């Protein structure tokens, strides 16, 4: 069942065709067809708990926007069964803010922004999975060494790039002093004065900067974090 993740990691997208989904309509999501029940007596009524279906159900539970007849479970089931495609669901920023554990995270807003591509206000399931794919453990890639294709989303370098983008708001490939100050202020709240914060920022940039431009480029960022176990600190273990 890791094949679904392989597709996402390599191509950065969840294409219906490649996972064996029923209809090839890129804009509409049909849930995948699954193999029939095997052990009828032991497990009489199983539902598939593949990670994708569980994450899809998590995604739809975040989406509170849809009310009305289509949200009735029986109607949806019947439509889905007869292969009518349902309009793709999407999630807006407020839906993420409704998660309490995310709302109390000091970097909550930045994390939410990471889901939304440039200038967009809603994210569909594909984008959701793409962003989450960054947090797959690196060891997945050991099994499929594909030198020709693009680097998978969860490689060490791509993870670091993702973290870099959390600092770098204006996407100019540099972390300036202001950007660093912004993130620091988010993390410490009101408990540290401006001067102290400024001196922390200055010292950090001073130690990391090698080409003297008073900003941290991606290469310098990687150098600072070379001893950090990115694999452990930036991976989420998905069950099953």
Partner 1 sequence: MASFVMVGWYSSAFLEMWHPLCHWIACLERDGTAFTMLQGAGAPRLACESKSDGGSMFYSLGLLIHACCNLCLHLTGIIRREETSMEEEIAGQRQGGFNLADILYFSKKGFEAVADDEVTRRFSSEELVSWNLLSRTNVNFHYVSWQLTFVWIIGILIRYCLLLPLRVKCWLSNQVQMTCAALGVRSLSGAVHFHNRENRPQKGGICVANHTSPLDVLILASDGCYSLVGQAHGGLLGLIQKSCMKTTQHVLFERSEMKDRHLVRKKIREHIADKTKLPILIFPEGTCINNTSVMMFKKGSFEVGGTIHPVAIKYDPRFGDPFWDSMKHSAMTYGFKLVTSWAIVCNVWYLPPMVKEEEEDAVHFADRVKAVIAAQGGMSVLPWDGGLKRKKVKESFKEEQQKKYCQIVVENGTVGNGNVH
Name residues contacting partner 1, limited to 126-155 (CB under 8 A): 132, 135
> Among the candidate windows 1-9, 140-148, 149-157, 228-236, which touches partner 1 by CB under 8 A?
228-236
Among 163, 169, 181, 209, binds partner 1 (CB under 8 A): 163
In angstroms, give the least distance from the CB of 14 to partner 1: 15
Q: Which 187-206 positions form the footprint of partner 1 (CB under 8 A)?
A: 187-192, 196, 199-200, 203-204
Report residue 33 as tokens. Answer: 């067809």
Q: Do the Cβ atoms of 10 and 149 come closer than 8 Å?
A: yes
Residue 46 touches partner 1, criterion: CB under 8 A: yes
Residue 227 touches partner 1, criterion: CB under 8 A: yes
Q: Which 52-111 positions form the footprint of partner 1 (CB under 8 A)?
A: 53-58, 60-62, 71, 73-74, 76-77, 80-81, 96-108, 110-111
Report residue 221 as tokens. Answer: 């960022």
Among 177, 184, 209, 218, binds partner 1 (CB under 8 A): 184
Please enumerate in sequence order all residues whose Cβ is within 8 A of that of 198, keeping only pairs 6 or more positions apart, or say none.
Answer: 181
In order of 167, 177, 178, 185, 202, the CA distances from 192 in angstroms are 19, 17, 16, 8, 15
Q: How many CB atoms lie within 10 A of CB 166?
A: 14
Q: Distance (Å, rounded) from C-alpha 64 to C-alpha 115?
A: 17
- Tracing tokens 């019947």 back to the chain, one arrives at 78
Residue 5 touches partner 1, criterion: CB under 8 A: no
Among 118, 142, 143, 236, binds partner 1 (CB under 8 A): 236
């Amino acid at each position: 069942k890791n094949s679904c993740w392989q597709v996402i990691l390599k191509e950065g997208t969840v294409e219906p065709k490649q996972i064996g989904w029923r209809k090839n309509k890129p804009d509409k999501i049909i849930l995948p067809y699954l193999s029939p029940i095997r052990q009828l007596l032991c497990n009489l009524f199983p539902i598939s708990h593949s990670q994708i279906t569980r994450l899809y159900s998590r995604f739809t539970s975040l989406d509170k926007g849809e009310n009305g007849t289509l949200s009735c479970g029986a109607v949806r089931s019947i439509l889905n069964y007869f292969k009518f495609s349902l309009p793709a669901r999407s999630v807006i920023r407020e839906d993420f803010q409704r998660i309490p554990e995310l709302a109390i995270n000091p970097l909550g807003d930045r994390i939410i922004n990471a889901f939304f591509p440039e200038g967009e206000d809603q994210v569909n399931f594909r984008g959701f999975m793409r962003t989450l794919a960054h947090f797959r453990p690196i060891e997945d890639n050991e099994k499929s060494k594909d030198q020709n294709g693009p680097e998978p989303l969860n490689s060490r370098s791509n993870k670091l790039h993702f973290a870099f983008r959390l600092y770098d708001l204006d996407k100019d490939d540099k972390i300036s002093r202001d950007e660093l100050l912004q993130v620091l202020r988010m993390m410490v709240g009101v408990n540290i004065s401006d001067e102290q914060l400024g001196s922390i920022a200055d010292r950090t940039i001073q130690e990391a900067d090698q080409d003297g431009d008073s900003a941290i480029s991606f290469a310098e960022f990687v150098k600072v974090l070379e001893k950090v176990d990115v694999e452990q600190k930036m991976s989420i273990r998905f069950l099953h």
